[in-house]
Structures are given as structure tokens and as C-alpha cells.
């Protein structure tokens, strides 16, 4: 593959078509890996946000108004009809590790799907343009083997 009669001389090839199946797998895996760290940040932010929301709502539950030196307890949650929101925040906060894992997994999957779609679209467009223009032309030369390393044709 790519060998020319003249040793060390470049061989010219043109890329006529890109396989969309391999491009899909590569794009999906690359997207999942690239979006993993942002997904971790999103997961931490989501867990922190739910915890802070729960603390805020629980503080409203025990609110007090001071009038003429007297503390009057006021349940702002009941006044604003937010009991279901507080119950939901408590339930979600009790499952914070599951929420964290869900955010990380969902972010990675969505990143993988995004890269898959963009990569397939780019591959489809390349295949269309390559059909009209003949594709990209590349020059390849045979790489030299490092010293002390034998070429093992059985492992290729």
C-alpha cells in the first residue's frame, strides 16, 4: 500500500469517499470524551443548585417578621403555595449522587450525539463534493523504522 518502485519517493493518493459508518463511531466516541469534563462541571453545578434551592426554600419556611420588637413567624412557602416545590427539592437533593451521575451521563451522551450528527453531515458533504471534484489529494511516503525495531509483517 503506497509503495513506489523508487524507495523514499512519495506516492500520490486521492480520498474519493469517507465511510459514514466509521465516521459516526469516531464522532460519537470523540464527542462523548470531549463533553465529559463539561458534563462533570454541569453535574456538580446541578447538584449544588438543587442543594441551594432546598436551603433557600427551607429558610423561607421558618421566616420571621419583626414588628415592634416581636418576632412573628411567617411560613412564606405556604403563603406562596410552594409546598410541592419544597417536597420536590428535598426528594431530588436526597438523591444528589444519582442526579450527578445522570447529569454526567446525559451530558456525555448528548455531546456524543452532537459530534455524530455534525461529523456525519460533514462526511456527507465531503462525499458529495469529492464526487464532483475528485476528492482530496495526498502524498504519502513510507515511514522509516526506528533503529533496533524489526518490521513484523505478521502483525499488520
- Mean pLDDT value across the chain: 85
Instruction: Tell whether the model's pLDDT for residue 58 goes beyond 70.
Output: yes
Structural domain includes residue 152: no
Q: What is the mean pLDDT of residues 90-101?
A: 88
Structural domain includes residue 49: yes
pTM of structure: 0.63
Structural domain includes residue 19: yes
Q: How many domains does the chain have?
A: 1
DSSP the chain: ----SSTT--EEEEE----HHHHHHHHHHHHHHHTHHHHHHHHHHHHHHHHHHHHHHHHHHTEEEEETTEEEEE-HHHHTT-HHHHHHHHHHHHTHHHHHHHHHHHHHHHHHHHHHHHHHHHHHHHHHHHHHH--EEEEE-PPPPPTT----GGG-
Instruction: Tell whether the model's pLDDT for residue 114 goes beyond 90.
Output: yes
C-alpha cell of 31?
A: 464527542
Q: Which residues pair with 138 in a beta bridge?
A: 13
Structural domain includes residue 2: no
Instruction: Tell whether the model's pLDDT for residue 23 goes beyond 50.
Output: yes
Domain that holds residue 23: 13-141
Give the model's confidence band at 4: pLDDT under 50 very low, under 70 low, under 90 confident, else very high: very low
What's residue 32's pLDDT? 93
Structural domain includes residue 89: yes
Amino acid at each position: 500500500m503506497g509503495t513506489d518502485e523508487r524507495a523514499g519517493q512519495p506516492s500520490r493518493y486521492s480520498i474519493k469517499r469517507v465511510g459514514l459508518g466509521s465516521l459516526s463511531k469516531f464522532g460519537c466516541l470523540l464527542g462523548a470524551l470531549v463533553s465529559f469534563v463539561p458534563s462533570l462541571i454541569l453535574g456538580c453545578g446541578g447538584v449544588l443548585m438543587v442543594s441551594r434551592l432546598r436551603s433557600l426554600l427551607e429558610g423561607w419556611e421558618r421566616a420571621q417578621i419583626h414588628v415592634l420588637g416581636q418576632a412573628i413567624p411567617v411560613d412564606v412557602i405556604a403563603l406562596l403555595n410552594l409546598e410541592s416545590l419544597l417536597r420536590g427539592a428535598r426528594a431530588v437533593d436526597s438523591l444528589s449522587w444519582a442526579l450527578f451521575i445522570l447529569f454526567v451521563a446525559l451530558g456525555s451522551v448528548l455531546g456524543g450525539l452532537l459530534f455524530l450528527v455534525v461529523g456525519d453531515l460533514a462526511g456527507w458533504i465531503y462525499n458529495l463534493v469529492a464526487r464532483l471534484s475528485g476528492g482530496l489529494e495526498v502524498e504519502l511516503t513510507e515511514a522509516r523504522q526506528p533503529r533496533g525495531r524489526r518490521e513484523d509483517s505478521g502483525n499488520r
